[in-house]
Amino acid sequence: MTWQKVVRNVKFIGRYLSYHNNTLRVIIPSFVGGFFLGANTNFKMPQCAVNLKRIITPVAVAMEKDENIKRNSFNFIADAVDIAAPSVVRIEVVGKHWNGQISSVGSGFFVTEDGIVLSNAHVVKNASLKGSPTVKVHLSTGETYNGVIIDVDPVSDLAAIKLVNEKQKKFPYLKLGGSVRAGEWVAALGSPLQLSNTVTAGIVSSLHRPGGELGLYNQDMGYIQTDAAINVGNSGGPLINLEGEVIGINCFTVQQAAGISFAIPANVVKEFLKEALNKDSSNTMKKKFYIGISMLSLSPDILLALQQRNPEFNSLKGGVLVARINSGSPSERSGLLIGDVILSINGKPVKSSRDVYNEVCRGANLVMQIQRKSQTLSINVSPEISSNL
C-alpha cells in the first residue's frame, strides 16, 4: 500500500469518527494505531492523523464524571421529606362516650411555631369543642401533648388544634404552598394504621376535582387527586411538593380502586387557618342534614378500574360508590358498607353523587337500592341534623 493510500484511508476514518459515538471513537483509533505501528517507524505521521487524536473523546473521562454524580442528587423525595417530617404529628382523640378509650386516630402538622396543628374535621369528630384537652398530639420526637380544638369546619373537613404548651416551646412548622400542576411529584406524610412517620409518594393525578362528584358537603371545592397511597390514619396529614411545602391536606381514598386519593387544596386551607386564628375555642356551625358517607361518582374510567378489581361488578352500568363511612353515622347504623354502589334512592336512578346529596338535603327517609358485590339490596337510611360532626 502506498503512503498516498494511507493518507486517504486516515482522512476517511476521520470523517467516519466525526459522525459516530464514543464507542467507535475508541475502537477505530486502536486499529489505526496498530496500523501505524506496523508501518515504517521512520515515517512522519501526517497532519490528518494529529487531527484524528484531537477528535477522540475518551470514554474513561465520561465514566469518571458519571461516577462523581452522587446518589443523593436523585433523592428529591427524600429531600422534601427531610424538610417536612419534623412538623408532622399523630393525633389520638379520646371520645367522651368511649369510657376514656381512643375513639379515632389521624394525622396533622404544625402551621405555627407556637403549636397550632391542622388536621381533618372527621379526625376529631368525637372530641369536645368546649376546651377540654381530649386530643393527644404525638410528635416525631416522641413527645406527647394535650391539644384543644379551636376551630372546626365540617363543610371543608378541616380542624385546628392548639397544643397545651405551658413551657412556650417553639415547634417546627410547615409553609402552605401555592400553585400546583397535574403530573407534579408529591409525597403524603402521616400515620396510616397508627404507623407514625410514614411516607408515600406519587404524582398529582388531577386538579379541581369537584366536591359534587365525590358527594361531599363542599360542592364547590376542587379537590386534588393523587395516586400517592393514603390509608386509614393518613387523614389530616400533609401532601407536600418537592420544596417541602404543603399543597394539600390528605382527606380520603377510594379503597376499591388503587391509586385514587384526594386532598384539600392549600388555598382552602389558608382561608380556614386565617379564620381559625381569629376565633376562640367556641365554635358555631350551620346545621345540615347528613348520612355520614363520602362517595365517588362512577365515571367510565373509574367504573372500568372498579370492574377490573371486582369482576362481580361487570354488569354494572353506573351509580355512586361508597368510599367512606363515618363511625356512628346514620349510614353505618343502617348497614351500609364501604364498597357498596348506590343505584337508586326512593325509586330515582342515581347517576352521580350530587343526586345522593340532593336527596339527603331534603331530610326525608331514604330507601336506597344498592349493589353489594353480586347482590342487589334495599337499605333504609334516615338523614340526621348535625350541629357538629
Collapsing DSSP states into helix, strand and coil, what is residue 221? coil
Q: How confident is the model at residue 257 (pLDDT cuts 50, 70, 90)?
A: low
Using the predicted structure, report yes or no on whether residue 204 has a pLDDT greater than 50: yes
What's the pLDDT band for 220 if we cut at 50, 70, 90? Answer: low
280 is catalytic: no
| pLDDT (mean) for 194-198 | 80
How many whole angstroms separate alpha carbon 239 and alpha carbon 201? 9
Give the per-residue pLDDT at 278.
Answer: 83
Who's near 92: CB < 8 A, 6+ residues apart?
A: 102, 104, 105, 135, 136, 138
Return the pLDDT at 354.
Answer: 81
**Three-state secondary structure call for residue 217:** coil
**Would you list the domain boundaries of the chain?**
10-83, 86-163, 184-278, 289-388
User: pLDDT tens digits, residue range 269-294?
Assistant: 999 999 888 874 444 444 568 898 98
Q: Helix, strand, or coil here: 349?
A: strand
The pLDDT, as a whole number, for residue 39 is 41
Mean pLDDT of 223-230: 90
Active site residue 82: no
Look over the chain and give the mean of its residue pLDDT values, rounded to a whole number. 78
Give the CATH architecture of domain 289-388. Roll (2.30)
pLDDT surpassing 50 at residue 66: yes
What's residue 253's pLDDT? 83
Residue 127 has pLDDT above 80, yes or no: no
- In the set 151, 157, 340, 355, the catalytic residue is 157
- Rounded average pLDDT over 319-329: 89
Question: Does 95 score more than 70 pLDDT?
Answer: no
Q: Please identify which of the residues 235, 294, 331, 386 carries the catalytic annotation.
A: 235
pLDDT above 50 for 384: yes
221 has a pLDDT exceeding 70 = yes
pLDDT in tens, 336-349: 999 999 999 999 99
Does 184-278 match 86-163 at the fold level?
Answer: yes
Q: What's the confidence (pLDDT) of residue 210?
A: 78
86-163 fold: Thrombin, subunit H (2.40.10)
Report pLDDT for 18: 47
- According to DSSP, residue 293 is labeled E
Instruction: Decide which of 15 and 257 is more confident.
Output: 257
Quote the CA–CA distance of 317 and 52 in Å, as a whole number: 70
- Taking a C-beta distance cutoff of 8 angstroms, is the pair 302, 259 a contact? no
**Within 13 Å, how many C-alpha atoms sit on residue 238's CB side?**
29
Mean pLDDT check: name the lowest of 8-17, 152-161, 340-349.
8-17
235: annotated active-site residue: yes
Given this model, what pLDDT does residue 25 score?
A: 42
Cα distance between residue 194 and residue 234, in whole Å: 9
Catalytic residue among 103, 119, 122, 294: 122
For residue 83, which of 249, 301, 243, 199 has the smallest C-alpha distance?
A: 243
User: Which has the closest alpha carbon to 48: 12, 24, 19, 18?
Assistant: 12
**Domain 184-278's class?**
mainly beta
Q: Is the pLDDT of residue 198 over 80?
A: yes
**Mean pLDDT (whole number) for 203-214:** 81
